Amino acid sequence: MSPDIADDYQASAPFEGPEKLLEIWFAPSAAYVPALDNACEHKTGLRTVSRQTWEDMLDIVKCKVLSVIEGTEMDAYLLSESSFFVSPHRLILKTCGTTLNLLGLPRILEIAAQEAKLTTVYRFFYSRKSFMFPERQLGPHRDWKQEVEYLDQIFTNGSAYTVGKVNGDHWLLYLTSAEGYPAVIPPHHTPVETEDRHVDYTIEILMSDLSPKARQPFFFLDPVEGDGVTPSSLAGELSEKLGITNIFPPTLTHLDAYAFQPCGYSSNALIKWGHESLENDFDWSPTTANGQPGIRHSGEGYYTIHVTPEEGWSYASFECNVPLSSKVSHDGKIPDLMALIKRVVNIFEPGRITLTLFISSEDNDTGNETAIEAAQRAFKVALTESPIAPCQTQKNEARMYKRTDKINYEFGGYDLAFASFELN
């Protein structure tokens, strides 16, 4: 389809691309999950809950499951409106449009208690970028005050924050303080041979005003299915064409993608990361700042991408929880933070970008500077100090950005780096 046709096409009503992101920790790690009769190998805790049970919960939220991929540490559900990730001890529900994300919370708490014996919440996070069309939202999502009031009825230890310009792009966050857990894992819990403490690290790249050339590939006005072509196979081909499959090494990535008709794209990916894949690429070394032996890290992470390409409300989001180095590296298999930002921005060519890095504060020490300050430096260098060559435009035009906001926050147990950029 030509770019002109893509520009002419508009849905009957604007679609709210910016997502509502809900994350619930029922325990500090999978090691604390109670033993269950139906558990097997890595399928413990919340991963023992049936797909049908989760689908019934998602009916409350007003979205559907399109597909599921199962990893060693988590299951990734691709939804009609974004994504749902299930780990033994943690859930991440990310939904866009006018979905009722928070209304699914009471049912999630019931399922966790009844089917996984997880009766308390260790930590809770809810965040979102400012809406483009707040007047279209339903239920408690009509405004931030209502969302906070709704959550305060469920949690007694919550705090709400507005980060950024109230009259511009800003980010909203509600989180609870950690509930105490014993230092020693109770014997009735699931046995774990070696407990590998994972860095809790989440980077979001939220992009608006995508260029016409970058938006055009995400329109599918012609019939998608037929002759062996499905929404998943079409999205897979597009992922390869645009370089999405190469954001992380394909050998470490299991990608699940979907092309929406007449327009739109979503994908989940599970990524294997560990000592080998992080070689020469990891800030948190096996030796701590005081010279004591550190903890080696490995695990399975995710990234998720969602694209709304219509002119007037174009939006794309990228979220990832694989720990990335803020130092430039050419040897590691996992991209450093600057390389990741450039790869993502090259694909979508946004006019405006909001970046957030949320990291557990016990891991926020790289020696001379904190991880969030190192991240802020990486944000700036990636977007303002070296031109980004678009991969979609036919002209060889470099794209340069200017930073319009920079904020660091320290919370109980977590630190946040927030920054906004616009085309220069």
Looking at residue 187, its pLDDT comes to 59
Residue 220's contacts (CB-CB under 8 Å, 6 or more residues apart) are 234, 259, 260, 261, 262, 263
pTM for this model (two decimals): 0.89
Residues flagged as binding site for substrate: 15, 81, 260, 310
Residue 102 lies inside a defined structural domain of this protein: yes
Burial class (CB in 10 A: 0-12, 13-18, 19+), 204: buried
Residues 122 and 219 in one domain: no
Whether residue 234 is found in the same domain as residue 159: no
CA distances for 424 relative to 170, 348, 351, angstroms: 19, 16, 9
Q: How many domains is the chain partitioned into structurally?
A: 2
Residues 250, 145 within the same domain: no
**127 and 218 part of one domain:** no
Annotated catalytic residue, options 198, 267, 306, 320: 306
- Residue-level pLDDT at 86: 98
Q: What is the 3-state secondary structure (H, E, C) of 77-107?
A: EEECCEEEEECCCEEEEEECCCCCHHHHHHH
| Torsion angles phi and psi, residue 418, rounded to 5 | -125, 135
Please tell me the predicted confidence (pLDDT) of residue 383.
Answer: 95
pLDDT of 297: 54
Cβ-contact 416, 375 below 8 angstroms: no
**pLDDT score of 180:** 73
Residue 242 is inside which H or E element, if any?
Answer: helix 231-242
Q: Residue 306 is part of a domain; what is its CATH number? A: 3.60.90.10
- The edge-to-edge listing of strands for the beta sheet with 265-273 is 253-259, 265-273, 299-308, 315-320, 201-208, 352-360, 414-423, 401-410
Is-catalytic flag, 266? yes
Query: Which pLDDT score is estimated for 331?
Result: 58
Q: Which two tokens stand for residue 69?
A: 């991929």
The reply to whether 146 and 209 lie within a common domain is no
The catalytic residue among 87, 239, 266, 420 is 266
Give the active site residue among 83, 89, 96, 326: 96
Told to judge if 82 belongs to the known catalytic residues of this protein, a careful annotator would answer yes
The closest alpha carbon to 414, from 244, 85, 177, belongs to: 177
CB-based contact 295:302 (threshold 8 Å): no
Closest among 417, 387, 394 to 405, alpha carbons compared? 417
**For this structure, is 96 an active site residue?**
yes
Whether residue 105 sits in one domain with residue 54: yes
> Which positions of the chain have pLDDT values less than 50?
1-9, 191-196, 279-296, 392-394
Residues 159 and 228 in one domain: no
Can you give the pLDDT at residue 155? Answer: 97
Structural domain including 77 reads 20-176
Task: Kindly state whether residue 234 falls inside one of the protein's structural domains.
Answer: yes
